Amino acid sequence: MSWLVSLPCTRAEAEALSAEQPELEALADAPVVVTREIDEASGRWQLDAYLDDRPGPALLALIRALAPSAKGVEPSIEELPEADWVTLSQQGLEPVQAGRFFVHTSSYADRAPVGSVPFLIDAGQAFGTGGHDTTAGCLAMLDRLARRGVRPRAIADIGTGTGLLAFAALALWPRARAIASDIDPASIAVTRKNAAINHVPLGRGAGRLALALAPGTDHPAIRRRAPYDLVVANILAGPLITLAPDIASVTAPGGHAILAGLIARQMEPVLAAYRAHGFRLAARGGSAEWPCLLLIKRQRHGWRRKQRALHRASPSDATFGSW
């Protein structure tokens, strides 16, 4: 990225940016948009959009539409030296404590609380460093399941991002067979690197993590390992709804699904899609704005191996691992 467009915004606008932005996503060279709190005392926030080229009037208008509160404010437009701005924008992340897990960057490697399960996840080009409410909510929900005595033998992390949630699941259930998938090759590469850093063994057997480059569940390795006692999907509301039949098809009767990446107003449509495929809501975690849903598949629906995905995710839905 070589250009930066900055605008003041409100916290509400910053949080709303985690929802889908079809106008930006439709662009061939969509900007990377991040938000940050400038001053906690005054509640000042800022929107930063990183672009490959100097933005024209049309793109500037789209960016300005993301922060209506800044109407009348001229955006700051700055040319930047070549750098990996996706990574740089995530540097300085504070560590996150979620359940028994302590997720940190290299800067906090020596600060893990006694008795915690630490994971080193440095900033990079994949979602899932633990700093977002959705990832932290999933970590807390995994911990909650373990404390309840749930013991899954087969686990799938769909849209793994950095691999963090799959690592956490294996830390809780070290005898399980686990697989992590993502549609983005960069995420699979990041997960492989993070697995080595955190001493998570890769492979096909019990206690090891298999990796698959796939949209949703559409991969032979994912299908062969089904049914799963636990499926985790921290993606977006649209893909979650699209994947409801596929996730249902690989989840064992009585099995659990942890869903996140949706905002509060998207919860009912997501739940409706999964209820239609035999799930019921067992618990809600996460934050008020970013719910984390724990579902259980009803016994009466049974399980059958699908020969073919009936609702294969289209490229427009392919945002797995983007959180």
159 has binding-site annotation:
yes
Residue 209: in which H helix or E strand, if any?
Answer: strand 209-213
130: CB partners within 8 A, 6+ apart = 95, 96, 98, 101, 103, 119, 121, 136, 139, 164
Strands 228-234 and 251-260: parallel
- Write the CA distances from 275 to 48, 133, 253, integer angstroms: 38, 24, 14
119 φ, ψ to 5°?
-135, 130
42: CB partners within 8 A, 6+ apart = none
Angle, CA of 110, 112 and 117, to the nearest 5°: 130
43 has binding-site annotation:
no
234 has binding-site annotation:
yes
182 has binding-site annotation:
yes
Residue 46: in which H helix or E strand, if any?
Answer: strand 44-51
Q: How far is CA 20 from the centre of its chain?
A: 13
- Write the CA distances from 43 to 11, 19, 36, 64, 90, integer angstroms: 7, 21, 11, 20, 20
Angle, CA of 160, 164 and 167, to the nearest 5°: 105
Annotated binding-site positions for S-adenosyl-L-methionine: 135, 159, 182, 234
Annotated binding-site positions: 135, 159, 182, 234
